[in-house]
Every structure is written in structure tokens, then in C-alpha cells.
Chain A
């Protein structure tokens, strides 16, 4: 079950001095939690800590080559109750998702699974895209639509209600279909 999603931008914040390295600052653009419990602050802290992991992955890649450009960053940080997944868009905007599903294996999440089903006369090939990548793709589509709004200032919080509704629909549909 997804408990929290966040969008973190790449803008420079005026109240923080620029780091010596010249890396992008992280300003929250959208943060929404989906539990009734009162630990929303804890979720915000988890999101904040996972930003460091993202920076580390982006700036010091483990492998070089085509995987340098991957958008889905995978499992960032497992805490005792939650798992945090990250996704990086082309403009260095980061999506972070905190979930309580502890039984989804990491291999499932990363790789496409090809399932061959033998019917009577033909064999059908079913490619299973890992569920979290589907979630992030839909989330990315919703984000692109929200940012295409000409009145949206890049770097400020997303105030569009339809974006919030779309995200909650995506999260709910995801929660019911996930194993």
C-alpha cells in the first residue's frame, strides 16, 4: 500500500546558499500522504532522507553506459516499515514513493518478465511490466499535464486540484491491484 508520494524539483532555493559543487537544490513541489495515521511528519522526513540517496546515485553511477540514463531508480532505502522508490525525469525532477508493501521483491520490480502462454494453436507472449514502473509512468503523465499549465511557475508547489485528484486515483487503483 502506498502511503506517500512526493515530487521534488530541481530549482535553486533563494534562502539556501548554493553548494560548492553546483548541484541542484531540492525543493518540494508536491507532497501528499495517503494514510489516516498521524505520522505524516515521519513520512516527510523519510522522503527528505531519500533525497540524499538519489543524489548519490545520480552523481556517482555504479555502472556507466546506457544505464546512466535510466529514469527508474528503484529501491532507494528500506527502513523498518517502509520501502522508498525513486524515479528521475529528464529535467532532474524526482518522484519519490513510500510504500508499506514489504513482500514485493526487488527483482520483480526491476525487470520485465516475459511469460509464454501456450494456447491450442498459438503461443502468446505476455510481457509483464513491473508494477511500480507502471505507477511511475502514470504519475509522470499526470505531472507533465500539471506542468504544462501556463500559469504554473516552475519550482513552485503544484496547486492544481485535478493533479491531486489524478494522483489519488492512481494511488488507489494501484493499492487494489498490487499483490
Chain B
């Protein structure tokens, strides 16, 4: 993914600066790796829901680590306790580090109190993937949904996160929306914190 860096340690720990510069990975290398990941999982499962679940689990592991890394490196070690705080953190900081730009928009769902949506015109992971017709509504953005779920879960906001295609009139390719549905205890805690 563009902009993913891992702090490698070359010198004595005393000489190492506290935050390293970002290392960028080439997009084609990532696209190749991601396509292999999807293909490998395809051979292991029988149905689409299982495939989506596996991609999401892979993303969950990434999300948990990204949160630790980013909080130590970028945010000056402030812990997010508010819902809007963690959502805007994901929407700007996490997206910027992983994909090189902030997400297109962050919206609150109108029907339910506990739903929020991050939408993106074209997810980076989906750029080189075309889904065959017989796979229906499968979205490789399940990987990104897993990353978001990993970040939220490790920060203490359990949620169910899914990725959906939303068709827009006037455009050929549908927009991708990551739907975040928070658990009951998060809303209760948020109400209690005022």
C-alpha cells in the first residue's frame, strides 16, 4: 500500500530517532500481492461469504497493528475516547498513511443512530480487480473493511464493518462505501460521556 512504513532498526537503539520517515511501496507490487491473496483465499473456500470473511480477517490483523504504529508515530500518543474522534482519525490519518490521501467523505447514517459511512470513489485495493458477474455483490473492499474494524476494535469501539458498492447515476463505476455499525456498548458509553 502506498505510504506504509515499518520502522526498521539499523543502529543502536540509543541512536535511533523516535519516528522514521515514511517508506512507500509500489502500487503494482501491492496489487500483485493483493491479487494473489484473493486468489489463494478463493481456492480455500466454497462460497462468497466465507471469502469476504477471510479477507476481512486479514484486514483486521493489519488494522490492529496500524493503530499501534500510527498512534506512536503520528498522534503524539493521545488516546481517542470519543466516537467522532476515532472516526475522523480513521478518515484522515489512517487513510492518508495507507492510501496516500484522505477518504472522500465521512457521513452519519440517517436511519440508525449507530451507523456511519466512509465512502470513496474508487478504493485503491479495487483498482485492478474486476468482479465476474456470477459473484454477485462481492467486494474486495472487505479487506479495507477489515482494516477499519481492526482499528476500531483495538481502540475500544467494537463495530461491524462492511463494504458495499453504491451505484451513482452518471458514473459508470459504482462508489464504494464502508458501512460502520457500532455495538450497543459504544453508544451507551458515548451517551454517558456526553
Q: Are B9 and A90 in contact (CB under 8 A)?
A: no
Interface mask (A106-150 → B, CB under 8 Å = 1, otherwise 0)? 000000000000000000000000000000011011111101101
Which residues of A39-70 are within 8 A (CB) of B? 68-69
Q: Is B23 an interface residue (CB 8 A)?
A: no
Residues of A within 8 A of B104 (CB): none
Q: Is B77 an interface residue (CB 8 A)?
A: yes
Residues of B within 8 A of A93 (CB): 68
Q: Are B13 and A148 in contact (CB under 8 A)?
A: no
Q: Are B7 and A145 in contact (CB under 8 A)?
A: yes
Q: Are A170 and B79 in contact (CB under 8 A)?
A: no
CA of A138 to CA of B16, assembled, Å: 9
Q: Is B67 an interface residue (CB 8 A)?
A: yes
Determine which of B14, B72, B75, B154 lies in contact with A140 in the assembled complex, contact meaning CB atoms within 8 Å.
Answer: B72
Q: Are B12 and A141 in contact (CB under 8 A)?
A: no
* B8 nearest in chain A by CB position: A145
Q: Are A144 and B72 in contact (CB under 8 A)?
A: yes
Interface mask (B50-81 → A, CB under 8 Å = 1, otherwise 0)? 00000000000100110111011101011111
Determine which of B73, B77, B154, B155 lies in contact with A71 in the assembled complex, contact meaning CB atoms within 8 Å.
Answer: B77
Interface size on A, residues (CB 8 A): 28
Q: Is A91 an interface residue (CB 8 A)?
A: yes
Residues of B within 8 A of A69 (CB): 78-81
Which residues of A1-36 are within 8 A (CB) of B? 22, 24
Given A90-B77, A91-B67, check contact A169 B9 (CB 8 Å): no
CA of A147 to CA of B81, assembled, Å: 22
* B58 nearest in chain A by CB position: A150
Which residues of A64-111 are within 8 A (CB) of B? 68-69, 71, 88-93
Q: Is A159 an interface residue (CB 8 A)?
A: no
Residues of B within 8 A of A175 (CB): none
* B151 nearest in chain A by CB position: A91
CA of A138 to CA of B185, assembled, Å: 34
| Minimal beta-carbon separation of A86 from chain B (angstroms) | 14
Q: Are A92 and B9 in contact (CB under 8 A)?
A: no
Q: Are A145 and B13 in contact (CB under 8 A)?
A: no
Residues of B within 8 A of A173 (CB): 13-14
| Minimal beta-carbon separation of B151 from chain A (angstroms) | 9
Q: Is A166 an interface residue (CB 8 A)?
A: yes
Residues of A within 8 A of B155 (CB): 90-91
* B7 nearest in chain A by CB position: A145
CA of A140 to CA of B73, assembled, Å: 10
CA of A90 to CA of B73, assembled, Å: 12
Q: Is B18 an interface residue (CB 8 A)?
A: yes
15 contacts between A and B (CB under 8 A): A89-B68, A89-B72, A89-B79, A91-B67, A91-B68, A137-B18, A140-B72, A142-B13, A144-B68, A145-B9, A148-B68, A148-B69, A154-B64, A166-B9, A173-B13
Known: A90-B154, A91-B68, A145-B6. 11 other contacts (CB 8 A): A22-B185, A24-B156, A68-B81, A69-B79, A89-B79, A90-B77, A90-B79, A137-B18, A141-B7, A144-B7, A147-B68
Top 7 A-B residue pairs of the complex, sorted by shortest distance between their CB atoms = A90-B71, A71-B77, A91-B154, A69-B78, A69-B79, A144-B72, A90-B79
